């Protein structure tokens, strides 16, 4: 059970206004351990004075620690940086934006989710292929092997395959496996959700998992080749328009605050 009110503490204490805050990581992927931390992700808006100055400002805000008994890792990007990442075949930001585990939202968040559809390309497959290779290498180096990197490997491969075929970002491995029907994934998910965050495999059938990794990698490569998704994102103008409106809205709010102060 996610305590959203405790998550809201970080929204209220954030140094900048937030467009949205969602939960990512193992909770989004459908296999949190009882002791998993909470990956809180979002978009903040830097003051116009900072944007217009020579100072880059805090393009990224990071904070981690234990708060009210919850281990939380918070990362937010300024809107301009986040929007730029949306145009660079970055699957992470799309997953964070479209996460159904919403802690805080705004009308602009809903607008951005619609624009996200025009930022999806067939080349997002490279993001998922690269991350799968990294997680597989991590899995192979550890002794004894852990469940987590193995699940991450299969999660990103199935997410990428689904994206190439359906044009939809789906990060929940349980939902993805509803179509893939890989019984060993159900077993691994159960082990991860009922065990410790750093739980290990009782007996790692490396040859079997190697074969599955290679098979799913090939399936994602084939799906990329056959995908009818666009080559390039088409949402740049919409993102630019939204960013300008967000910046100008900040100016209006600042003006209203100033007038209110004078009235007092």
- Convert the pLDDT of each residue in 118-156 to its tens digit: 999 999 999 999 999 999 999 988 888 888 999 999 999
Write the CA distances from 60 to 119, 194, 198, 212, integer angstroms: 21, 34, 28, 37
Radius of gyration of the chain (CA): 20
Would you kindly state where each structural domain of the chain is located, as residue ranges?
8-119, 124-226
The stretch 24-47 carries a mean pLDDT of: 94
Report which listed range, 8-22, 47-61, 139-153, 230-244, is most confident.
230-244
Sequence-distant (≥ 6) Cβ neighbours of residue 87 within 8 angstroms: 119, 233, 235, 236, 239
| Whether the Cβ atoms of residue 12 and residue 19 lie closer than 8 Å to each other | no
| Whether the Cβ atoms of residue 173 and residue 154 lie closer than 8 Å to each other | yes
Is residue 262 very low, low, confident or very high in pLDDT (cuts 50, 70, 90)?
very low
Q: Which CATH class is domain 8-119?
A: alpha beta
Helix (H) or strand (E) holding 182: none
E strands of the chain, at which residues? 18-24, 38-44, 60-67, 70-78, 102-104
Compare 37 and 70 and report the one with higher pLDDT: 37
Question: Is the pLDDT reported for residue 250 higher than 70?
Answer: no
- Convert the pLDDT of each residue in 161-216 to its tens digit: 999 999 999 999 999 999 999 999 999 999 899 876 666 776 558 889 999 999 99
- Convert the pLDDT of each residue in 222-244 to its tens digit: 999 999 999 999 999 999 999 99
Sequence-distant (≥ 6) Cβ neighbours of residue 253 within 8 angstroms: none
Check residue 86 and give its pLDDT.
97
Q: pTM above the 0.85 mark?
A: yes
Sequence-distant (≥ 6) Cβ neighbours of residue 156 within 8 angstroms: 91, 128, 131, 132, 135
Check residue 35 and give its pLDDT.
85
Distance in Å from the first CA to the final CA of the chain: 45
The stretch 49-74 carries a mean pLDDT of: 89
Check residue 225 and give its pLDDT.
98
| Range of lowest pLDDT (22-26, 64-68, 84-88, 229-233) | 64-68
Is residue 107 exposed (0-12), middle (13-18) or buried (19+ Cβ within 10 Å)? exposed
Check residue 14 and give its pLDDT.
92
């Amino acid at each position: 059970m996610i305590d959203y009110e405790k998550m809201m503490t970080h929204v209220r204490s954030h140094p900048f206004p937030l467009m949205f805050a969602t939960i990512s990581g193992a909770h989004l992927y459908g296999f949190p351990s009882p002791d998993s931390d909470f990956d809180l992700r979002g978009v903040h808006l830097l003051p116009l004075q900072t944007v217009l100055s020579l100072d880059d400002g805090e393009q990224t805000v990071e904070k981690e620690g234990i708060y009210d008994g919850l281990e939380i890792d918070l990362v937010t990007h300024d809107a301009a940086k986040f929007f730029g990442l949306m145009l660079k075949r970055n699957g992470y930001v799309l997953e964070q934006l479209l996460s159904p585990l919403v802690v805080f939202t705004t009308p602009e968040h809903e607008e951005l989710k619609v624009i996200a559809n025009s930022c999806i390309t067939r080349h997002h497959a490279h993001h998922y292929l690269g991350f799968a290779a990294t997680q597989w290498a991590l899995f192979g180096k550890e002794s004894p092997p852990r469940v987590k990197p193995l699940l991450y490997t299969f999660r990103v491969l199935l997410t990428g395959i689904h994206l190439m075929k359906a044009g939809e970002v789906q990060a929940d491995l349980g939902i993805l496996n509803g179509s893939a029907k890989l019984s060993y994934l159900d077993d691994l998910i159960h082990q991860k959700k009922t065990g410790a965050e750093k739980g290990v495999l009782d007996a790692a059938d490396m040859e079997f998992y190697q074969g599955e990794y290679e098979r799913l990698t090939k399936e994602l490569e084939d799906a990329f080749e056959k995908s009818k998704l666009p080559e390039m994102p088409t949402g740049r103008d919409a993102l630019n328009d939204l960013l300008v409106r967000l910046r100008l809205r900040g100016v209006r709010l600042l003006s209203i605050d100033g007038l209110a102060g004078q009235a007092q």
